[in-house]
Amino acid sequence: MLDWLQFILAPQVINGLSIGVAVVLMALGLTIIFGLLDVINMAHGEFYALGAYLGYALIASGVSFWFALVFVPLLMVPIGYATERLLIRRVFHSKERHILTLLLTFGLAILLEDGLKLAFGANPLKPEQPISGASEIIGLYFPNYRLFLMAVGVLIIVAVWLTVYRTSLGAMVRAAAFDRHMAASLGVRVSHVYAGTFAFGVALAGISGVLLAPIYSVFPTMGKDFVLIAFSVVIIGGMGSIKGAVLAGLILTQIQAVSSLYISPVWTDPLLFGIMVLVLMVRPQGLFGRLGHG
């Protein structure tokens, strides 16, 4: 029993954790955008793919992975800011803004996917892993890059939580999320907070793309499947809840990793979506509250 736990289950748990933190990064972007703007960003997966392609292009041009890891999120910030100011803002105050923003970002997703196909082609691209080798843990060897992915993901998640809940900037974001009219009367530049928050969510998607590119191939439709899991995480954790996204992301990816041992990898996604449906039936608001409540 101990040997089975050590040599079969433990690697699946580690792999699930490494993917889980990347899923949480994507889900954080989604839940922060929804928590403040009340906008479901259907193009979030394509922003993830764009980040992966930008990282690949920079590395192929001769720069290091470490430079790309820092520079790509910085590139994604003005892209996200412009998207909110030029597109989302134009329909944000409409009575039908929920359906309009959903359709608008869905159209943007198609445009981005086709643009990536035109720019890079449809064939998958595979960047080199920046960290080679493996480290011994509990008598097993785990890839160093997956361990690095877990470590840097946890650091980013903690930094996001501290920014939102322990800084004056985060206080302004939460105030605008709770009551934008009251926040505006107190001097908060709500429109810039909205655009900046959207850009921040897009940057989180971009850095997820850079981190996962060395594990998965980079291709134009790579965001579609991955963002479905991220949406499930956001729905189960509670739309707008950071701690809900973190908890749901880690739990769901562990279920996905471990269940593949007992059932089949083919059934892991239906299992996750079945859990999502069950949560919606029993607790439609998810496990936790909105952004302003943690």
pLDDT confidence of residue 274: 87
pLDDT confidence of residue 12: 67
Closest by CA to 293, choosing from 241, 251, 245, is 241
Q: Is residue 216 part of a domain?
A: yes
Q: What's the whole-number mean pLDDT along residues 223-249?
A: 85
Q: What's the whole-number mean pLDDT along residues 279-284?
A: 85
pLDDT confidence of residue 289: 63
Q: Is residue 136 part of a domain?
A: no
DSSP state letter for 137: E
Q: SS3 of 1, please?
A: coil
Q: Is residue 183 part of a domain?
A: yes
pLDDT confidence of residue 1: 44
If one counts every other C-beta atom within 10 angstroms of the C-beta of residue 120, the result is 16
- Give the whole-angstrom CA distance, residue 128 versus residue 9: 27
| Interval 74-108: pLDDT, tens | 999 999 999 999 999 888 778 788 888 989 999 99
b/e sequence 56-84, b meaning 16+ C-beta within 10 Å: bbbbeeeeebeebbeebbebbbebbbebb
pLDDT confidence of residue 202: 95
How many domains, in total, are found in the chain? 1
pLDDT confidence of residue 286: 84
Q: CA 2 → CA 5, 7, 258, distances in Å?
A: 5, 9, 16
* Helix-helix angle 168-178:10-37, to 10 degrees: 60
Q: Is residue 293 part of a domain?
A: no
Lowest-pLDDT choice from 63-72, 150-159, 248-257: 248-257
| Strand 134-137 with 140-143, pairing | antiparallel
134 pLDDT band, cuts 50/70/90, is confident
Checking if the pLDDT of 205 tops 80, the result is yes
pLDDT confidence of residue 51: 96
270 pLDDT band, cuts 50/70/90, is confident
Q: Is residue 237 part of a domain?
A: no
* Helix-helix angle 268-282:222-237, to 10 degrees: 30
Checking if the pLDDT of 291 tops 60, the result is no
Q: What's the whole-number mean pLDDT along residues 194-207?
A: 93
pLDDT confidence of residue 204: 93
End-to-end CA distance of the chain: 40
Q: What's the whole-number mean pLDDT along residues 133-158?
A: 84
8 pLDDT band, cuts 50/70/90, is low
Checking if the pLDDT of 199 tops 90, the result is yes
3-state helix, strand, coil split of the chain in percent (to 5) is 75, 5, 20
- Report if pTM > 0.75: yes
pLDDT confidence of residue 17: 78
Where are the strands (E) in the chain, listed by range?
A: 134-137, 140-143
Phi, psi of 39 (to 5 degrees): -120, 125
Closest by CA to 83, choosing from 227, 188, 200, 190, is 200
Q: Which domain holds residue 199?
A: 20-131+143-220
Chain-wide mean pLDDT for the chain? Answer: 85
* Helix-helix angle 44-60:97-120, to 10 degrees: 30
| Interval 44-81: pLDDT, tens | 999 999 999 999 999 999 999 999 999 999 999 999 99
Q: Is residue 6 part of a domain?
A: no
Q: Is residue 284 part of a domain?
A: no
Looking at per-residue pLDDT, the higher value among 159 and 284 belongs to 159
Q: Is residue 170 part of a domain?
A: yes
